Amino acid sequence: MTRVAIASGLVFWAGATLVLSRHRWFARRPLADRLRPYEPGGLAGGPSGHGLLSVDSFADVVGPLARTVGERFARLVGINEELAVRLERVHSDLDPTDFRVRQLGWAVVGGVGAVLAATAMRPPAVVVLLFLVGGPALAFLSVEQQLALESDRRKRRLFLELPVVAEQLGMLLSAGFSLGAALQRLATRGQGASGEDLRRVVARVRQGVTEVDALREWATVADLDALTRLVAVLALNREAGDLGRLIAEEARSIRREVQRQLVEQIERRSQQVWIPVTVAALVPGAIFIAIPFLEALRVFSAS
């Protein structure tokens, strides 16, 4: 018990130090470190100004390890999509290393919680082993699941908005707008997931990437077959004479696909309604059948 208390105290001390190091009144930098950026060559050399134990220094040390371990464990549980692509899809401010460090932190919290629970409950050795393995794994997978759910919701929203975006692009191109001007107009006035993605496409075009390459990058990150087909049509911008008609046909195709998926979802929900009805009918029926069956067994056993 004393060892557990000492280990918990050390973990609490390290966590409190990391949290308090973000506050200026606790981890105030020395005057020499604060004046060093204003010296000639001060930004290029000298210490970074981080304390011995701070969030930044901790992330710099643990980041590569957390990213390697996280990627291997994610592949072990069947997650093969690149983390950077999923983070870019949901417009997250975190890079893969920061995400893995945060995930590792939650796994450590889960492990500490499992140790405390095992110490308080004193279960058998097999249950203790399950606690020690399941606590960190559950914390790790919960963070991964949150990102997966957010990614799926993002893809669903974009898929539902895509027919309207395709129709607006077709109308703008038919009205004489260039592809770049049409994307700029939709990015400025667009809302929702498509508007945010189009603003990123326009930003890539301003960085020197062509419109078609920026749209292909968008299709790769979004991972939607409908968007991939639409981008393939938009890539014919300089070759096709009546691109508006082709985009309109693609918009109708996407809308039919959305409608088909909605019908399938409605059918699945209508079938799910019968599950509680079936259970409610089977339980009384099983009871009514069990009563004469048990009575018959009692009669035969008495005779």
Share of the chain above pLDDT 90, in %: 14
Q: Domain end: 53, 79, 97, which one?
A: 53
Average pLDDT over residues 133-139: 86
pLDDT of residue 114: 84
301: in domain = no
Is 105 a residue whose pLDDT tops 60?
Answer: yes
Q: What is the reported pLDDT for 158?
A: 92
Phi, psi of 106, rounded to the nearest 5 degrees? -65, -35
What confidence score (pLDDT) does residue 44 get? Answer: 46
Q: What does pLDDT average to over the chain? A: 80
First to last CA, the chain: 62
pLDDT at 303: 64
Has residue 162 got a pLDDT over 50? yes
Full domain range(s) for residue 44:
1-53
Residue 230 forms part of a structural domain: yes
| Alpha-carbon gap, residue 10 to 16, rounded angstroms | 10
- 20 located within any domain: yes
Residue-level pLDDT at 46:
46
Instruction: Tell me the C-alpha to C-alpha distance, in Å, between residue 156 and each of 32, 193, 224, 267.
Output: 53, 9, 9, 18
- Which CATH number covers residue 233? 1.20.81.30
Task: Quote the distance between the C-alpha of residue 216 and its chain's center.
Answer: 21
Three-state DSSP class for 201? helix
* Rg of the chain (C-alpha set): 29
Burial tier of 223 (Cβ tally within 10 Å: 0-12, 13-18, 19+) = middle
Within-domain flag for 173: yes
In 243-253, which positions are buried (b, 16+ CB within 10 angstroms) versus exposed (e)?
bbebbbebbee
pLDDT tens digits, 183-236: 999 998 888 888 999 999 999 999 998 988 999 999 999 988 889 998 988 888
* Total-model pTM: 0.68
Spatial distance between the Cα atoms of 218 and 213, rounded to a whole number of angstroms: 9
Total structural domains within the chain: 2
Q: 14: pLDDT confidence band, cut at 50, 70 and 90?
A: low
